């Protein structure tokens, strides 16, 4: 998967191991996209050490910086500015500095741009605000009123209390407490700004594990104890109890006094996860994601750096936290695309999690019911240990998956556009039995395209090469790429004809409309990640479904995972072909993963489930694998295919997306870039061609694709290439090493 990781890691280590001499100057890395560290002087008597946090003047400002490397030494002492160490803060761990260097080298970003991600909690570096509280003083007044005596009795326990806290505990007015402070009978003491983090209790509620779980947990516990790098693929169907297994590894890390990082693909999943964690360990873990308040970020960051916070659950940005003693990394739902960061520095958090574990010399666990092909191949080759949980936790069987061939479904009812006759029958039976159903379509809104029947005009976004999606409830047409919206029009802007506009294709709203037509008495709700059906409304719909207040949930991939619905026995997939045919090397894998996950929703308790897949490609490998529950067969087929065409993980890919506001300029630069590609053995460069979204948020986009054999040093090639071309400031050339999609 990560070819050359050893080479790059060694390179990073070389930097790390170069001793920084005990002179009072050093290379300081600033969290800015500069080429590398800048030389600074340190105050008299301070010796440089990698990871030391400093305040460094740059221009007329001051920036946070980190002592990074030996000084370049080509600038005279008298011209160097002084960087002041920040007081009271530990250094950034050397392992984190190594990791930052590695990620920068691998993703072809300046190290300062990666450092910026590690220092994102700016508030964390300000001096700690201390609170004043009071304890028993050294003098006792000669005469004591009852009230004063009560206060001093309360203060006997030695706990520090605020004035109101002391007054409340002694049942006196604050004035009494203040009087005692004045007389020295109570004395002030400083408390830290934040309450201490409590350590999760590894013994709190250890579960009974089945034999599969037991042996997997044993291996993971052993790996944690070993305190060495190892990688494990924890592979088991939905409900096989993967979380319980990796919680045993977390428990072991806690016993060893080591910290754990658990990466989840989406914040939406964390609430449920935190509760699960608390049920096992007695308290919730710390969270890290973009929704946290500044204050909470500051609290978590410092506690992670100080080693007081033992377990962090976070989104991909938590990879860059300064763990003092990281002993375990877990990536749950490791196959999820959400782990790929597409903005700014482009990286894959799952791959980087493996690298972080290597730099920390600790185990990493990748968990999934439908692993990425990369991880599957790594496990098959023995590079990762393959921990399989075959038996389903509890008694439910895997759902039965049936294919509905839409080419042969002649519908008897002209109102039926998206719900075929067999699907409607199954819905009837499910509702009659008092059970629940899920209708899945991975498309938001009402219809993906609005078309004029008279002149053929299609409504598209003026800023993106994308159709406008109709949202009928809101009477809007919206671009899902940039958020551009217009009111739903009454006439065609091209030919001015009225009543000629038609909605093409379904979104979840349209499926809901048809469902309501056929089942006027059923209770249903829509769940999609939409501006209308936002996170709160979606969560409410999911909760209502879990509590059986509604019978049918109609939704996009937001409903695909993380929820238990014991009465859900029928899953209808409206369009199983969606997303399967866009020529992307990973399209089939992704479709399989998504549909497998959605199917897994059905029949999780004692009731067997049924999944109906509506498709026009019943012979497709994805449909066949789902219908025959032949996951490993599908993976094997996919593996052979990728091997044959030398696609990842059997070959390497990188993309360069050239973008800018001036379309002509972008095309010129992209062509220059294409021509400048150095010829090399085992490397092919394709393009430039217009990107899938050739216009996105007003930016014209051209794409170049680099395909290389597995052993090729892609980064070295790209670096040499890009150094040859001058890219003007108005144009951006974003490098995506190991791209996972081709938008």
Going by C-alpha positions, the residue among 307, 292, 91, 115 that lies closest to residue 197 is: 307
Binding status of residue 502 toward Zn ion by CB under 5 A? no
Least distance in angstroms from the C-beta of 455 to Zn ion: 3
Nearer to Zn ion, 155 or 695 (CB): 695
What stretch of H or E contains 146?
Answer: helix 146-155
Binding status of residue 463 toward Zn ion by CB under 5 A? yes
C-alpha–C-alpha distance, residues 365 and 384, integer Å: 9
Q: Is the dihedral of CA 229, 7, 341, 555 positive or negative?
A: negative
Least distance in angstroms from the C-beta of 659 to Zn ion: 14
C-alpha–C-alpha distance, residues 585 and 590, integer Å: 10
Binding status of residue 461 toward Zn ion by CB under 5 A? yes
- Strand 363-368 and strand 326-332: the pairing is parallel
Binding mask 210-229 for Zn ion (x = CB under 5 A): --------------------
* Options 53-61, 163-171, 491-499, 589-597: segment touching Zn ion (CB under 5 A): 491-499
Least distance in angstroms from the C-beta of 469 to Zn ion: 10
Tokens in use for 533? 């059906």
166: Cβ contacts below 8 Å, ≥ 6 apart = 134, 151, 154, 155, 177, 186
* Options 28-36, 78-86, 471-479, 612-620: segment touching Zn ion (CB under 5 A): 471-479
Nearer to Zn ion, 2 or 451 (CB): 451
Q: Which of 272, 317, 481, 539 binds Zn ion (CB under 5 A)?
A: 481
Q: Is 432 exposed, middle or buried (0-12, 13-18, 19+ CB in 10 A)?
A: exposed
Binding status of residue 447 toward Zn ion by CB under 5 A? no
Q: How many CA atoms lie within 13 A of 720 on its CB side?
A: 9
Q: Which of 94, 147, 449, 454 binds Zn ion (CB under 5 A)?
A: 454
Least distance in angstroms from the C-beta of 314 to Zn ion: 30
99: Cβ contacts below 8 Å, ≥ 6 apart = 12, 320, 355, 356, 359
- Secondary structure E strands in 161-241: 186-191, 230-236
Nearer to Zn ion, 193 or 485 (CB): 485
Any idea how long the chain is? Answer: 743
Nearer to Zn ion, 353 or 666 (CB): 666
Q: Is 92 exposed, middle or buried (0-12, 13-18, 19+ CB in 10 A)?
A: buried
Going by C-alpha positions, the residue among 622, 602, 604 that lies closest to residue 612 is: 602
What is the radius of gyration, based on Cα positions, of the chain?
Answer: 30
Q: Which of 183, 187, 227, 457 binds Zn ion (CB under 5 A)?
A: 457
* Options 225-233, 435-443, 450-458, 652-660: segment touching Zn ion (CB under 5 A): 450-458
Least distance in angstroms from the C-beta of 478 to Zn ion: 9
Binding status of residue 494 toward Zn ion by CB under 5 A? yes
Nearer to Zn ion, 306 or 483 (CB): 483
Residues 593-632 that bind Zn ion (CB under 5 A): none
Q: Which of 7, 495, 502, 730 binds Zn ion (CB under 5 A)?
A: 495
Nearer to Zn ion, 452 or 610 (CB): 452
* Options 47-55, 416-424, 476-484, 524-532: segment touching Zn ion (CB under 5 A): 476-484
Binding status of residue 455 toward Zn ion by CB under 5 A? yes
Binding status of residue 691 toward Zn ion by CB under 5 A? no
Binding status of residue 482 toward Zn ion by CB under 5 A? yes
Nearer to Zn ion, 268 or 454 (CB): 454
Binding status of residue 695 toward Zn ion by CB under 5 A? no
The phi and psi torsions of 149 (rounded to 5 degrees) equal -60, -40
Q: Which of 125, 473, 484, 743 binds Zn ion (CB under 5 A)?
A: 484
Nearer to Zn ion, 313 or 482 (CB): 482
The phi and psi torsions of 486 (rounded to 5 degrees) equal -135, 160
C-alpha–C-alpha distance, residues 462 and 222, integer Å: 57
C-alpha–C-alpha distance, residues 350 and 35, integer Å: 26
Nearer to Zn ion, 614 or 700 (CB): 700
CA triple 219-221-222, angle to 5 deg: 65
The phi and psi torsions of 76 (rounded to 5 degrees) equal -65, 145
CB 491 within 8 A of CB 498: yes
Beta-carbon neighbour count of residue 450 at 10 Å?
Answer: 22
* Options 325-333, 372-380, 463-471, 659-667: segment touching Zn ion (CB under 5 A): 463-471
Q: Which of 419, 492, 558, 621 binds Zn ion (CB under 5 A)?
A: 492
C-alpha–C-alpha distance, residues 162 and 135, integer Å: 9
Binding status of residue 480 toward Zn ion by CB under 5 A? no
Binding status of residue 581 toward Zn ion by CB under 5 A? no
Say how many residues touch Zn ion, by CB under 5 A.
14
- Strand 524-527 and strand 469-471: the pairing is unpaired
Nearer to Zn ion, 271 or 495 (CB): 495
C-alpha–C-alpha distance, residues 597 and 594, integer Å: 5
DSSP string, 27-91: EEE-SSS-SS-EEEE--TTPPP-TT-EEEEEETTEEEEEEEEE-----S-GGGPPBPEEPTT-PP
* Options 25-33, 125-133, 157-165, 481-489: segment touching Zn ion (CB under 5 A): 481-489
Least distance in angstroms from the C-beta of 691 to Zn ion: 14
- Secondary structure E strands in 274-383: 286-288, 311-314, 326-332, 340-341, 347-348, 363-368
599: Cβ contacts below 8 Å, ≥ 6 apart = 399, 401, 571, 573, 609, 611, 626
Nearer to Zn ion, 265 or 448 (CB): 448
Least distance in angstroms from the C-beta of 460 to Zn ion: 9
Tokens in use for 481? 């790429």
Binding status of residue 449 toward Zn ion by CB under 5 A? no
Binding mask 44-63 for Zn ion (x = CB under 5 A): --------------------
Nearer to Zn ion, 243 or 529 (CB): 529
Binding status of residue 452 toward Zn ion by CB under 5 A? yes
Binding mask 393-432 for Zn ion (x = CB under 5 A): ----------------------------------------
Residues near Zn ion (CB under 5 A) are 452, 454-455, 457, 461, 463-464, 479, 481-482, 484, 492, 494-495
């Amino acid at each position: 998967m990560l070819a050359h990781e050893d080479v790059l890691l060694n390179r990073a280590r070389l930097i790390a191991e170069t001793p920084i001499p005990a002179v009072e100057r050093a290379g300081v890395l600033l969290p800015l996209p500069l080429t590398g560290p800048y030389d600074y002087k340190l105050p008299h008597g301070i010796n440089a050490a990698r990871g030391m946090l400093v305040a460094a003047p740059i221009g007329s400002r001051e920036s946070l910086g980190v002592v990074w490397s030996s000084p370049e030494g080509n600038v005279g002492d008298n011209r160097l500015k002084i960087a002041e160490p920040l007081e009271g803060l530990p250094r950034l761990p050397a392992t984190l500095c190594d990791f930052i260097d590695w990620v920068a080298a691998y993703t072809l970003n300046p190290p300062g741009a990666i450092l910026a991600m590690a220092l994102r909690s700016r508030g964390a570096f300000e001096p700690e605000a201390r609170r004043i509280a009071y304890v028993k003083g050294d003098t006792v007044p000669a005469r004591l009123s009852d009230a004063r005596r009560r206060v001093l009795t309360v203060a006997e326990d030695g706990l520090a209390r605020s004035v109101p806290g002391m007054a409340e505990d002694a049942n006196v007015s604050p004035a009494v407490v203040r009087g005692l402070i004045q007389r020295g009978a109570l004395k002030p003491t400083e408390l830290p700004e934040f309450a201490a983090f409590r350590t999760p209790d590894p013994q709190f509620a250890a579960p009974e594990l089945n034999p599969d779980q037991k042996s997997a947990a044993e291996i993971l516990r052993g790996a944690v104890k070993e305190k060495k790098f190892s990688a494990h693929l924890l592979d088991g169907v939905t409900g096989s109890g993967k979380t319980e297994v990796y919680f045993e590894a977390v428990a072991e890390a806690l016993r060893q006094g080591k910290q754990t990082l658990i990466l989840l693909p989406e914040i939406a999943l964390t609430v449920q996860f935190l509760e699960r964690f608390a049920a096992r360990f007695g308290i919730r873990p710390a969270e890290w994601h973009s929704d946290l308040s500044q204050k909470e970020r500051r609290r978590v960051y410092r506690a992670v750096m100080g080693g007081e916070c033992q377990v962090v659950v976070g989104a991909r940005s938590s990879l860059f936290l300064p763990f003092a003693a990281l002993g375990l990394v877990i990536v749950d739902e490791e196959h999820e695309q959400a782990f790929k960061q597409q903005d700014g520095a482009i990286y894959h958090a799952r791959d980087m999690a493996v690298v972080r574990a290597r730099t920390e010399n600790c185990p990493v666990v990748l968990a999934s019911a439908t692993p990425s092909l990369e991880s599957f191949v790594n496990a098959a080759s023995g590079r990762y240990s393959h921990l399989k949980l075959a038996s389903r936790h509890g008694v439910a069987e895997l759902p039965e998956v049936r294919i509905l061939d839409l080419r042969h479904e002649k519908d008897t009812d002209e109102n039926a556009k998206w719900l075929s006759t067999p699907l409607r029958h199954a819905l009837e039976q499910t509702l009659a039995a008092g059970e629940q159903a899920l209708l899945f379509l991975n498309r938001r809104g009402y219809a993906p395209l609005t078309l004029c029947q008279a002149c053929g005009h299609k409504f598209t976004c003026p800023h993106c090469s994308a159709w406008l999606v109709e949202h009928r409830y809101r009477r809007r047409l919206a671009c899902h790429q940039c958020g551009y919206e217009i009111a739903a029009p009454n006439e065609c802007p091209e030919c001015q004809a009225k009543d000629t506009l038609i909605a093409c294709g379904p979104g979840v709203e349209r499926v809901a409309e048809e469902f309501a037509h056929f089942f006027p008495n059923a209770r249903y709700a829509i769940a999609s990640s939409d501006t209308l059906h936002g996170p709160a409304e979606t969560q409410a719909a999911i909760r209502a479904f879990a509590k059986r207040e509604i019978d049918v949930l109609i939704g996009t991939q937001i409903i695909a995972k993380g929820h238990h619905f014991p009465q859900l026995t029928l899953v209808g997939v409206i369009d199983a072909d969606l997303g399967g045919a866009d020529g992307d090397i990973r399209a089939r894998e992704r479709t399989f993963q998504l549909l497998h996950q959605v199917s897994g929703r059905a029949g999780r308790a004692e009731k067997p489930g049924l999944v109906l897949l509506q498709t026009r490609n019943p012979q497709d490998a994805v449909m066949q694998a789902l219908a025959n529950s032949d996951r490993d067969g599908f993976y094997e087929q996919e593996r052979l295919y990728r091997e044959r065409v030398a696609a990842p993980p059997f070959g390497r890919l990188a993309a360069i997306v050239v973008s800018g506001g001036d379309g002509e300029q972008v095309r010129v630069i992209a062509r220059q870039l294409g021509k400048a590609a150095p010829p090399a053995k085992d490397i092919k460069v394709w393009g430039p061609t217009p990107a899938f979204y050739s216009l996105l948020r007003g930016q014209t986009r051209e794409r170049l694709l680099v395909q290389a054999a597995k052993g090729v040093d892609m980064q070295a090639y790209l670096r040499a290439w890009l150094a040859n071309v001058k890219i003007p400031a108005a144009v951006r050339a974003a490098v995506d090493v190991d791209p996972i999609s081709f938008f």
